[in-house]
Amino acid sequence: MERRTFLQILGGVGASLFVPIDSCSGASGESAGPPAKRDLLMQRNQNRSTVISQHGMVCASQPLASMAGIDMLKAGGTAVDAAIAASAMLSLVEPMMCGPGGDLFAIVWNEKEQKLFGLNASGRSPYDWSLQQALDLGLTEIPTYSPLAWSVPGCVSGWSALHERFARLPFAQLLEPAIRHAKEGFPVSPIIGRSWTFNTLNEPGLLRTYQPQGESIRAGTIFRNPDLAACFETLSREGPKAFYEGEIAERIVKFSQAVGGRFAMRDFREHKADWIEPVSTNYRGYDVWELPPNGQGIAALQMLNLLEHFDIGSLKPNSTEHLHLFIEAKKLAFEDRACYYADMDCADVPVRQLISKEYAAERVKLIDPTRAAQQVDPGRLRGRSDTIYLTTADGEGNMVSLIQSIYYAWGSGYVPDGLGFCLQNRGQLFALDSRHLNCLKPHKRPFHTIIPAFVTKTGRPVFSFGVMGGGFQPQGHVQVLMNLLDFGMSPQQAGEQPRIEHAESSEPTGKKMVGSGSVGFEKGIDDEVKLKLAYMGHRIRPNTGAWGGYQGIWRQDDPLRYFGGSDPRKDGCAIGF
């Protein structure tokens, strides 16, 4: 294929090797604020400065959330206080991505104990929802926008667990900024404004809450959410238990009964968040930490174990050689992800084997440096045949890596009467196959995509970070870490570089990869690189996209300093003081 022909294909001319993908969707019409070129939101100039501070830092995907966290630090709170306040604010200002109706995971570095703590605050399926019931309904997969995709929201239990163990300020104080802005209103920011669309979703509660005047919400629109303010005020008065034992739980269960859901009060009363041990692998002398399944974090560790067999730092960033190795490592890790990742309370997940160096040494032999694999199988182990991320740090050295989501944009599309938030649809990720580790069972956690991450060196905290973006997240983690540790970029630069996304791997729902999958690119990847990857057998998607939303805080000691980076793909910022 000649270069000219290839460039024509990238411009939209069809060919079997290249598969189309929809470009980023967004609200139509002009902005409610000053004139703005919408397309330029995804083409920002790069390399703004890394933010540096001594006394504390908050990095979040919307400025009001970063400011809420900073306010808590200035009031004498810890990094955990800041994280809860920022998380609550994001529930208001970025509602299509997160809220009390979703789940939460966190990794906390506690300076006093010199230790990392992991928190799994994801919810479980209803007791009255089983594989046999789903099959009796004729389902081959759980519908996405449906009460049948609900699992118990774990977010508020995560706030509660974090507050009880590590916070300093009263819980009610942490919700004050979100309550105030929910009542008084806030101007919708540009990237979030692009996502404030409902497409085919027409559930009355959703439209009543998030399009109250029947008019489109755009950048600059002043939006208020009095129902969410009232919900948070209930939590302020009665504490987080009100979400699982009191009025809020009762209203969700009543709503569930009215619309065909399976929730009962027992599901909420018996829900709990769990403190768990993070797991790690060493990459280039740094220990990279993730949480074990039901999340997908160990996929990043598996990819790093494979990539350390190659001298990535000697390659040009985003060169053909670099991206080919990355894609092939991803494909291998994601086949294991599809086969083995599940709720460890209900399935025997071989985590230690999957993230072992010995296992990677065998699997890496399947990577051909010159050709794309067209078929990938999971490894044979012994005994076996849309999200928000934020990170905070305080002047005492405590750090938090926190991620929160309702899964799809607007979650399931259902808003319980008068509560001001969407219920997640994370239960859509169960497999409806009794042989699968991730198969649907009552009171079981589904496979999860949201993953916080942390990096230490010789037992000391170095880097708290995450990259939102559904199934893309392990790919985002690895690309950021290669930029930092292999290519020597700053925390800000590491998140600004163009990314790629390999898609169509096998999934934990039972879906299988066909061929080699496909590769999408952000703007900034050279066309010659795409051409060479195509020659190697990769299927190249012709249109450009944008993937992930990164936030990160790098720590230096003696004296203590924080270096913050915030993704230009989002509206947010790093703020330090």
Residues with a catalytic annotation lie at 387
Give the residue among 295, 259, 256, 291 at the shortest CA–CA distance from 101.
Answer: 256
Bridge partners of 223, per DSSP, are 186
Q: Map 249-278 to HEC letters.
A: HHHHHHHHHHHCCCCCHHHHHCCCCEEECC
* Residues 135 and 79 sit within 8 Å (Cβ to Cβ): no
Tokens of 273: 């968040």
Residue 544 phi/psi, 5-degree rounding, is -90, 155
Place of tokens 């400011």: 67
Structure tokens at 508: 């934990």
Q: In what order do the strands lie in the sheet with 51-53?
A: 51-53, 561-566, 549-556, 460-468, 453-457, 286-290, 279-283
What does residue 105 show for φ and ψ, rounded to 5 degrees?
-130, 150
Spell out the residues 6+ positions from residue 390 whose beta carbon is closer than 8 angstroms to its own. 58, 59, 60, 61, 65, 69, 83, 86, 87, 90, 400, 402, 403, 404, 466, 551
Contact 294, 430 (CB under 8 A): no
- The DSSP-derived string for 43-105 is S----PPPEEESSEEEEESSHHHHHHHHHHHHTT--HHHHHHHHHHHHHHHSTTT--TTSEEE
Contacts of 39 (CB under 8 A, 6+ apart): none
d(CA 312, CA 271): 44
Nearest to residue 415, comparing CAs of 251, 175, 305? 251
Q: Is the peptide bond prior to 370 cis by the omega test (within 30 degrees of 0)?
A: no
Mapped onto helix, strand or coil, the DSSP state of residue 172 is: helix
Q: In angstroms, how far is the first alpha carbon of the chain from the final one?
A: 54
Give yes or no for a contact between 540 and 24, defined as CB atoms under 8 angstroms apart: no
Q: Which residues contact 151 (CB under 8 A, 6 or more apart)?
A: 103, 122, 123, 124, 125, 126, 424, 426, 427, 445, 446
Residue at token pair 């509560």: 419
Secondary structure of residue 393 in the 3-state scheme: strand
- CA pair distance 259, 237, nearest whole angstrom: 29
As a whole number of angstroms, the distance between CA 370 and CA 388 comes to 37
CA distances from 538 to 16, 86, 300, 370, 532 (A): 12, 40, 21, 11, 9
